Structure 1
């Protein structure tokens, strides 16, 4: 009996040690492409429930993911009244993490709210304040939250995050720590998640480089991330690259280019130390701005600029709406 117990314990330890994370891209663009705006679903591979990283597009992203068979292993119970998209929205997404309240990061949540289920919206207090004052206020949209102006429908609990403090994420195995980011005068957020195996991923909302923003926000986070990389526990970094290198610093408005991202990642490498400190690190590139100009494909340009100057051996990942990715 003792042998079976040890074997079972080792089995559980092994599965936790290599848990990893499951990611579904609900929206891969920043800016103007309505229907495909920044949002990702995230869960630990040893969990059944997801949260979202921002919420620019929700229902349209779920439809795209269904068409790509991203949810092929997620059967809708026969007793459920919902389509697969409705079932996932209502039963499998257990909370929203909103980095900042710009429309391309929250529009999907607002629009889908009438048919959504009760769940928390996690954010820094400044983000909750904007959500309450300018969106769920009975002027822009009915108040589906538990605070703010007018009659409170009570669907969404605005759950505040304290900077640099761990908080368990309800109905998941994740815990989260928030860090402030500088986004051209707006407070944005980076969310660091750990699963039960103490593996981590970090998601950056919109952010400019420290040198342009006159900030130390990114530098502070790089120092916190270094031990995870040294222990091979960091499974991925989600970070924006909104514009190509041709964009001057004065026109970044709190965003990154490939050159600036690589500069920042070299700072991270310095804190990690050793030979090839970031080799094979997964970096998921987010928030590429859609362009209406002729012969302009920003994603191709940004990918070329990142890969062509990648002296760190980083695994840059470019997802599209509806993709499912394992980290």
Structure 2
């Protein structure tokens, strides 16, 4: 066995340290911390780069079961893509995302299969949509019975969906170790909110998911779906991952639902959608997704990785604020340094067509909520964060960001829609504003440097004016300074012109600067390595 320098193409895939600086130096292994390798950074429609991340503690030195995959829309082919530059050579890599990894075979597919079987200890799934789980199903024939079952770790509702609708001998063979399956896959059901009896101090509630890493999982909402009449044996498919709801079951206009007296508690509420209620009387329920807090106990550092998520401001079951309340103390103490979160569309997309996803105006609003909580922790005696309205903004009765449709209605003077106090209070929350203030978004011209921080990229003036929040904030200091926000699950539009990522990144940078958050935004590339 010998050591080789990676081919230039692999070096150029780059690494990014906790300060956001691209690097290909070999010294990173000397420092304890977390490494995230991005196998799939997009939300489709290309199947070769949909969501898939690898996470490990650098203290484990690529030992057996030392890596977890978070989501698996892309998995084995993403590993092969990274290893292809060193094909036909047995080596210990000293460059690239897998620096320090020993390759026992000659070609990239064989080494990738070894990595999948032996190095990846578990696959954490945020929710069971195909763009987050399909690769794992396709990859399972590469597993070997003699190596033990590969773990899928997820909320109980996610495990149930995968077990019932994928590994069911119809869509895919039952390769699990339950109900007479082949035993190549085993399920680990994670308790929502963490395991109360595990850990002490900062690590209370965290559960071991592989060598060197512990994790905690929270449920979030990802839009709505039709609630189909279940068979008697199928009732549990629509239950929340929580053991009990905040209140008793009751019969409402749309059927049985949990009492929602505590909306942040995180439970399903299968009631009719106000916007979709009609002659069909179809019942709708919240789609459950999740977010993982992944911690390296040695370095006392954490990373937060979201599955698909919708904003609280337009959700029938808002659950994000509770997650931000958990994250805020970790950000204030410097333990949580990076967040991977989706932002699927740019701000031209109406709220009605987000389908349970985020766009820049909503992501900035969510991060502002987080910033407010961090501020209360870091500056409890300060009252300097009172909101002040922009000079160009009228009196506004809510901080909910306006969709392009709401802006157009205000600009054309259609009263009774969104520009009159108290009007149409029964409409969806995202239209509860009295007026809008800016011109509709203009198309952003192409600009290089998608992954550069806001301080290094010129911001289009029209874009900054048209897409910043309703209000700005004054803080004692930027509350999210030092936090890196990596934007994933961007939907490629597959058309001529600038990539969708450029538009989304510029909108986030402009609005984040206006809000004074202090965090930096990045769009990672396929095959990129990030050290935290």
**Do Structure 1 and Structure 2 share a fold, with TM-score over 0.5?**
yes
Cα drift, residue 19 of structure 1: 2.6
CA contact (8 A) 2:491 2:500 kept: yes
Cα drift, residue 108 of structure 1: 0.7
| Match of residue 313, structure 1, among 495, 500, 518 | 518
Structure 1 match to 2:455:
none
| Match of residue 50, structure 1, among 67, 80, 98 | 67
Distance 2:206 2:293 in 1: 11
| Match of residue 193, structure 1, among 273, 294, 316 | 294
Cα drift, residue 119 of structure 1: 1.8
Distance 1:260 1:171 in 2: 34
CA contact (8 A) 1:66 1:322 kept: no
| Match of residue 178, structure 1, among 193, 213, 217 | 217
Count of residues in correspondence between the two structures: 309
CA contact (8 A) 2:67 2:210 kept: no
Cα drift, residue 256 of structure 1: 0.3
Structure 2 match to 1:97:
124
Cα distance change of structure 1 residues 67 and 78 upon mapping to structure 2, 3 Å threshold: closer
Distance 1:139 1:78 in 2: 35
Distance 1:125 1:159 in 2: 8
Distance 2:143 2:484 in 1: 32
Structure 2 match to 1:279:
481
Distance 1:255 1:300 in 2: 18
Distance 2:73 2:346 in 1: 22
Distance 1:323 1:67 in 2: 15
CA contact (8 A) 1:128 1:160 kept: yes
CA contact (8 A) 2:337 2:482 kept: no
CA contact (8 A) 1:123 1:161 kept: yes
Cα distance change of structure 1 residues 67 and 314 upon mapping to structure 2, 3 Å threshold: farther
Distance 1:131 1:46 in 2: 32
Q: Which moved more, 1:256-265 or 1:116-125?
A: 116-125
Cα drift, residue 64 of structure 1: 1.9
Structure 2 match to 1:136:
167
Could you state the TM-score of these two structures normalised by the residue count of structure 2?
0.56
Structure 1 residue 65 and structure 2 residue 82: aligned?
A: yes
Per-residue deviation, residues 188-241 of structure 1 (Å, max 9, x unmatched): 001111211332111110000001113331100111111101111002111000
Structure 2 match to 1:221:
323
RMSD: 2.0
Q: Which moved more, 1:171-180 or 1:238-247?
A: 171-180
Structure with larger RCO (C-alpha < 8 A, sep 6+): 1
Structure 1 residue runs without a partner (length 5+):
1-14
Q: 1:286-297 maps to which residues of 2 (within 5 A)?
A: 286-295=488-497, 297=499
CA contact (8 A) 2:214 2:295 kept: yes
Structure 2 match to 1:153:
182
Q: Which moved more, 1:249-258 or 1:164-173?
A: 164-173
Cα drift, residue 79 of structure 1: 11
Structure 1 residue 115 and structure 2 residue 216: aligned?
A: no
Give 4+ residue runs of structure 1 displaced > 6 Å after superposition: 78-82
Distance 1:130 1:97 in 2: 14
CA contact (8 A) 1:20 1:235 kept: no
Q: Which moved more, 1:94-103 or 1:63-72?
A: 63-72
Per-residue deviation, residues 244-297 of structure 1 (Å, max 9, x unmatched): 011110001110001111110011000000421101201111100111334352
Distance 2:81 2:363 in 1: 29
CA contact (8 A) 2:207 2:216 kept: no
Per-residue deviation, residues 128-165 of structure 1 (Å, max 9, x unmatched): 111011111111111111225xx401111110000111
Distance 2:187 2:114 in 1: 23
Cα distance change of structure 1 residues 233 and 81 upon mapping to structure 2, 3 Å threshold: closer
Structure 1 residue 303 and structure 2 residue 505: aligned?
A: yes
Could you state the TM-score of these two structures normalised by the residue count of structure 1?
0.89
Distance 2:33 2:109 in 1: 29
